Amino acid sequence: MFALTFMAAILMANAACDKNEPQNTEENVRQDIALTKAQSELSRKSNDFTFDFMKILATKEDKNENLFASPFSLQTVLAMTAEGAVGDTKTEMLDALKLSGYSEDEIAGYFRTLIPALEGVDNTTVMEIANSFWSKQSIAIKDDYAAKLKADYYAECQTLDFDGKVAAAAINGWCGAKTHGMINKIVDEIPIDQMVALINAIYFKGEWKDKFNEKNSFDDNFSNHDGSTKKVTLMSKGTNTRVFVGKNASALSLPYGNGAYSMTVILPTEGVDVNDVLASLDAESWNNYRHGGDRYDVSLYLPKFETEYTAADICIKTLDAMGMKKAFTRSADFTGISDTRVFIDQVIHKAKVKVNEEGTEAAAISYVGMRLTSAAAPQPHIEFKVDRPFIYAISEVSTGAIVFVGVQRKF
């Protein structure tokens, strides 16, 4: 019997109304998200985690396959988990998450500030972030840990009191609801000795500030990473925007809604491997890609595509390679959660994206399962034709916080 205890249930701060559609029809003016100095540093560190995670993940996956993930989602759920870690377990987790050197209050304050800010920065773009915590009836969860999750991460604490398959159905139902049906399944069955589960869900839906006209879309060849070609639908439009033109890659950003969110497309120079460009990504190159360059009249061609990606065992292997080791062993110390000894035995990440002439819809689920340790003037013109493997990222403009990042290697 898989029995989960109800500790307390809270709603997300702004979950009182349906956020599938914007609340107001009148676009609000884009404003920078106000962060403290420490929070701004943590936002940059969060991007460092994104770069490192994607680089290592890419080395462990088939180099010809597509990647799409939300390392921010994964970092959030692991930060929730780390709130209950102690000693070396906590130190390794914070180091791998790029959160070391900051106090618990600073880390908690960062997520407490950023989650509602990301949700509310653009009333014409849907951004929803939901967290939840689930525990088994036989495990006594410490009150202060549950209070931290509710206060700092707006986490819902849920109860289940049935066998593993029914529990899985309830968790999958939560995931489907929070991602508006984009991701309806994250687990098949809950192991009998799994004591705790933590979940983060992110849903994004944004319309391009300047939409593509479907009449201008056409079929053309895309050169896949493995050397083959595939017919794809290229959306096209003319635009005047900044383009960063580097030796190994060029990049431009396409805004959504009021401009608070944008998609940055990084296109490797012909003959340069997209994996090499990914491996070179860091804070400096990211800022160049999303902010740098001169203004051009651009003939833009962007594939219309859908990508879905799931990572399970490879998540743990990637995090282990980043230095998070003890948390996955039976010597892990999560006594900040409960005096019952548990360790992380599951990390599952699933993400999905749809890009078309109207805009972008994307969702991600990150799942952590814990088991018992024993049981104006004319501008120069440039063509930006995305007809080969490319990298793309969706970020909040004022903080640079990357919410999603992908590598499209093939169609």
pLDDT digits (tens, 9 = 90+) for 78-126: 999 999 999 999 999 999 999 999 999 999 999 999 999 999 999 999 9
Backbone angles phi, psi at 85, to 5 degrees: -85, 155
pLDDT digits (tens, 9 = 90+) for 329-340: 999 999 999 999
Comparing 365 with 167, the larger pLDDT belongs to 365
| 265 vs 283: CA distance, rounded Å | 16
Residue 292: what pLDDT? 85
Q: Which residue has the tokens 């396409």?
A: 254
Tell me the pLDDT band of 253, cut-offs 50, 70 and 90: very high
Q: What is the mean pLDDT of the chain?
A: 90
CA within 13 Å, CB half, 34: 0
pLDDT tops 70 at residue 157: yes
pTM for the whole structure: 0.86
pLDDT above 70 covers a percentage of the chain that reads: 92
What the block records as the tokens of 130 is 């939901």
Residue 226: what pLDDT? 94
Residue 23: what pLDDT? 46
Per-residue pLDDT, averaged over 127-154, amounts to 93
pLDDT tops 70 at residue 6: no
pLDDT digits (tens, 9 = 90+) for 264-315: 999 999 999 999 999 999 999 999 999 989 999 999 999 999 999 999 999 9
pLDDT above 90 covers a percentage of the chain that reads: 76
Backbone angles phi, psi at 251, to 5 degrees: -155, 150
Alpha carbon 29 to its chain centroid, in Å, reads: 25
DSSP β-bridge partners for residue 242 = 295
Residue 163: what pLDDT? 67
Cα→Cα distances 358→145, 214, 256, 304, 363, Å = 42, 9, 10, 10, 17
What the block records as the tokens of 194 is 């799994």
Comparing 375 with 52, the larger pLDDT belongs to 52
Please give the DSSP secondary-structure letter assigned to residue 163: -
DSSP β-bridge partners for residue 202 = 129, 364
Residue 382: what pLDDT? 85
Residue 378: what pLDDT? 57
Query: Class of the 214-305+377-408 domain?
Result: mainly beta
Tell me the pLDDT band of 2, cut-offs 50, 70 and 90: very low
Per-residue pLDDT, averaged over 129-145, amounts to 92
DSSP annotation string for 16-44? SS--SS-S-SSPPPP------HHHHHHHH
Per-residue pLDDT, averaged over 337-345, amounts to 94
Per-residue pLDDT, averaged over 34-62, amounts to 95
Is residue 67 within 8 Å of residue 309, measured between CB atoms? yes
Tell me the pLDDT band of 342, cut-offs 50, 70 and 90: very high
Query: H-type helices in 23-163, by residue range?
Result: 37-60, 71-82, 87-96, 104-120, 143-153
Residue 375: what pLDDT? 56
The CATH number corresponding to 4-13+34-207+307-372 among 3.40.630.30, 3.30.1120.10, 3.10.20.30, 3.30.497.10 equals 3.30.497.10
106: left (phi over 0), alpha (psi -120 to 50) or beta: alpha
Residue 5: what pLDDT? 32
pLDDT tops 60 at residue 210: yes
| 345 vs 108: CA distance, rounded Å | 24
Residue 390: what pLDDT? 86
Is residue 328 within 8 Å of residue 206, measured between CB atoms? no
Please give the DSSP secondary-structure letter assigned to residue 119: H
Residue 18: what pLDDT? 38
DSSP β-bridge partners for residue 185 = none
| 286 vs 341: CA distance, rounded Å | 41
pLDDT tops 60 at residue 19: no
| 228 vs 240: CA distance, rounded Å | 32
Per-residue pLDDT, averaged over 189-213, amounts to 94
Tell me the pLDDT band of 401, cut-offs 50, 70 and 90: confident
Delimit the domains of the chain by residue range.
Answer: 4-13+34-207+307-372, 214-305+377-408
Residue 399: what pLDDT? 87
Residue 101: count of CB within 10 angstroms of its CB: 12
Residue 309: partners with Cβ closer than 8 Å, 6 or more residues away: 66, 67, 68, 69, 350, 351, 352, 406
Among 224, 190, 225, 178, which Cα is nearest to 350's?
Answer: 178
Residue type at 255 in one-letter notation: P
CB-based burial label for 16 (10 Å; 0-12, 13-18, 19+) = exposed
Residue type at 8 in one-letter notation: A
Residue type at 193 in one-letter notation: D
Per-residue pLDDT, averaged over 43-60, amounts to 95
Residue 377: what pLDDT? 52
